[in-house]
Amino acid sequence: MSASGAGQHVVVGLSGGVDSAVTAWLLKEQGYRVSGLFMVNWTEDEAGYCTSAEDFQSARAVAEELQIPLHRVDFSAEYRKRVFDLFLAGYAAGKTPNPDLLCNREVKFQPFREHALRLGADWVATGHYAQITHEADGPHLRRAVDDNKDQTYFLAAVAREHFERVLFPLGGLTKPEVRALAQQAGLPNHARKDSTGICFIGEREFREFLAQYLKPQPGMIEDDAGAVVGQHQGLAFHTLGQRKGLAIGGRRGAREAPWYVVAKDASRNVLVVSQDSAHPRLMTQDIATDAFHWIRRPASMPATLTARIRHRQALQVCAVTAIDGDRVRFRFEQAQRAAVPGQYLVLYDGDECLGSGEIADLG
């Protein structure tokens, strides 16, 4: 990103949060002509879980303070089709999908970016904690300076061409620095709490939400020796490694220790649990992905790479052991716990994010 925008038009995704507000402020300080674009993804708010109306008022206050125009666009139909429906289908199939990756791939860097460019943008910017370098061979996605806030995991499924003309001004800052800049700039939302959870779920209990869309399919809960220890309401409501919400009371002969989901036996509709948090069925060194999405595929694969199988996991040393068409198999130096089909393996070479693939097979 140039030190000076020199009057170039940048459209910033203003969400109402402090990160996007500071993004807009920084770009204006650098000489860009800034416009804000507020995106509506979810309009069903019968129980008051969606904060879209409150978020828009916050975004509008920021735009007024910065004296920039604010546009509002409704992508709720696209979001339902491209993100929410896939999210439900994944859970119904026994997977654990990640709607944040789907949202970035299917909405924020497709119709959102295209809408911004139709508004005459030279650049599109968001408040993601990531870095992007625009080089002769195309854009390179790189991890943020603040590893605790790095969001490249959520961006790793975006098509490389959709990073063209995209700026991530917060990539070189830490969250405390962003908060300090917001206060220094007098932004009206400088003390606003960060949003948590998935927008269409809000603060409600996850199983309660899923039960509105997926029918219960009760079955037995068995321990790893085959003894029945409880009953579940549906395999879709559980994920590998889960320890809460199993409703398994004290069992004669069992230790006073938590139970963990270690497997789903779909053929018998049985949930398998154990009190061993590192049960062999939870641990694997070999992970294969479905069609791997390369943001940048190295001409020759480095012998050692790193990857993570969930957001905020420390980077794990791994190597590519096989490429079969689009599918890629990895072997990790250390066994990985609860690698869940439906989640994504995100691959790195140093600080560069090379791409991602949906976890398909283990072992």
Q: CATH number, domain at 338? A: 2.40.30.10
Domain contains 157: yes
Same domain assignment for residues 97 and 164: yes
Same domain assignment for residues 152 and 249: no
pLDDT of residue 7: 85
Pairing of strands 270-274, 219-223: parallel
pLDDT of residue 1: 43
Domain contains 200: no
Beta-bridge partners for 140: 133
Question: Which is catalytic among the residues 50, 103, 318, 353?
Answer: 103
Domain count, the chain: 3
pLDDT of residue 82: 93
What distance in Å separates the CA atoms of residue 308 and residue 289, rounded to the nearest whole number? 13
Give the tokens for residue 52: 């879209």
Q: What is the mean pLDDT of the chain?
A: 91
Q: How far is CA 16 from the centre of its chain?
A: 19
Give the tokens for residue 22: 């500071």
pLDDT category at 46 given cuts 50, 70, 90 is very low
What distance in Å separates the CA atoms of residue 187 and residue 68, rounded to the nearest whole number? 13
CA atoms within 13 A on the CB side of 1: 26
Domain contains 194: no
pLDDT category at 193 given cuts 50, 70, 90 is confident
Same domain assignment for residues 118 and 157: yes
pLDDT of residue 197: 61
The more confident residue out of 99 and 125 is 125
Same domain assignment for residues 58 and 174: yes
Domain contains 70: yes
Domain contains 195: no
DSSP 170: G
Is the pLDDT reported for residue 106 higher than 70? Answer: yes
Same domain assignment for residues 234 and 118: no
Is the pLDDT reported for residue 259 higher than 50? Answer: yes
| Nearest partner of 231 among 221, 223, 222, 240, judged by Cα | 221
318 is an active site residue: no
Last residue of a domain, one of 184, 202, 225: 184
| Burial environment of residue 343 by CB neighbours within 10 A (0 to 12, 13 to 18, 19 or more) | buried
Last residue of a domain, one of 249, 277, 305: 277
3-state secondary structure of 257: coil
Q: Residue 140: which CATH number?
A: 3.40.50.620
User: pLDDT digits over 201-233, tens only?
Assistant: 666 677 888 888 999 999 999 999 999 999 999
User: pLDDT digits over 324-352, tens only?
Assistant: 999 999 999 999 999 999 999 999 999 99
Domain contains 206: no
Q: Which domain holds residue 123?
A: 9-184
Residue corresponding to tokens 């975004």: 59
Same domain assignment for residues 299 and 253: no
Residues written for the chain: 363
